[in-house]
Amino acid sequence: MKGRIFSGVQPTGNLHLGNYLGAIRNWVNLQKDFECIYCVVDLHAITVPRTSEQLTNDTLEVAAGLIASGINPDSSILFNQSQVSSHSELAWIFNCTAKLGWLNRMTQFKEKAGKNRENASVGLYVYPTLMASDILAYKATHVPVGEDQKQHLELTRDIALAFNSSYNKSFFPIPEPQIFGTASRVMSLRDGKSKMSKSDISDYSRINLKDTSTEISLKFKKAKSDPNPLPFSTKELEERPEARNLVGIYAALSSKNEEDVLKEFGGKGFGIFKPALADLAVSVLEPINNELRKLMDDKSYLRNVLKDGSNKASNISQKVLSDVYNIIGCVR
């Protein structure tokens, strides 16, 4: 029996190379071996202020980006979270299962709320229990996660174990993390020590999936590097964060390891390496860019895909939710 994958992405606009190499490309490959459920988590997105127009457009754009990258809505389930009410219902049950101390340990709330913690939304604080419900509403067995989400998956596992223990049932599976290797964490093109992010004020810090070939080439040309030629071993990259980042991106885009990249480019300067990296990135990303633009011109198609996916997701999650209500003793 195939395992079941669940993963979600926030509709915060501007999918970028870090999203593609760190998550989306891996999601595409997982379709071969797993039953895959992919969700645009629009309810998570409203934990911080945004306009309704922005949320609508970003949701459709993320869906377009996923399809353009190779997510097949015919063989996988692709939907947006707010169309499937079982996520929110199960989240309340998990709010009553999780312990306050567990949530107090979540570092992402502290990072996102910052010093103005008293004015942060309650939704931002209980975000991890909604994330747990996203996963467990489908009894997912595996969850692709980045390093920054590992703590939330651990909480999901704790909630599943606590629920099972409370009712003496082996109802929820304990989902396993799927963590990928090369370039799973792509760094900023302006600072090799900071993660590539759509929130960075400089557009030159990232390669967006919407970028044209000209924009991609220019961004890699202007990417921060150092004056030394590339080394011949990965160990020599350890104290060179920008060089290490660019080599890692090349390795991921070419499906090689970093050692093989350095065999090809070791001893060469960035004047040679950056154009080669730009050409490689364009060859991989240009077809995605073209398809993304085409899909964004047909928003009715995107809405229909998400609606159809939501119906399929509801068929699974409503059965799980109904079983949960029966287990805890709610009269149905």
Q: Which residues does the annotation mark as catalytic?
A: 112, 195, 198
Angle between helices 86-95 and 299-328 (to 10 degrees): 40
Measure the CA–CA gap between 278 and 22, rounded to whole angstroms: 18
Q: Which residues pair with 79 in a beta bridge?
A: 39
| Length of the chain measured in residues | 332
Residue 140: helix, strand or coil by DSSP? coil
Residue 24 vs residues 171, 184, 220: alpha-carbon distances, Å: 30, 10, 21
Measure the CA–CA gap between 108 and 156, rounded to whole angstroms: 15
- Please report which helix (H) or strand (E) contains residue 219, including its range: helix 213-222
Task: Measure the CA angle with vertex 13, ends 292 and 62; round to 5°.
Answer: 45
Q: In what order do the strands lie in the sheet with 142-144?
A: 77-80, 35-40, 4-9, 142-144, 176-178
Measure the CA–CA gap between 135 and 19, rounded to whole angstroms: 20
Measure the CA–CA gap between 152 and 60, rounded to whole angstroms: 26
13, 197 in Cβ contact below 8 A? no
Cβ-based burial of 295 (10 A; exposed 0-12, middle 13-18, buried ≥19) = buried
- Please report which helix (H) or strand (E) contains residue 309, including its range: helix 299-328
160, 174 in Cβ contact below 8 A? yes
Q: Output DSSP code: residue 199.
A: T
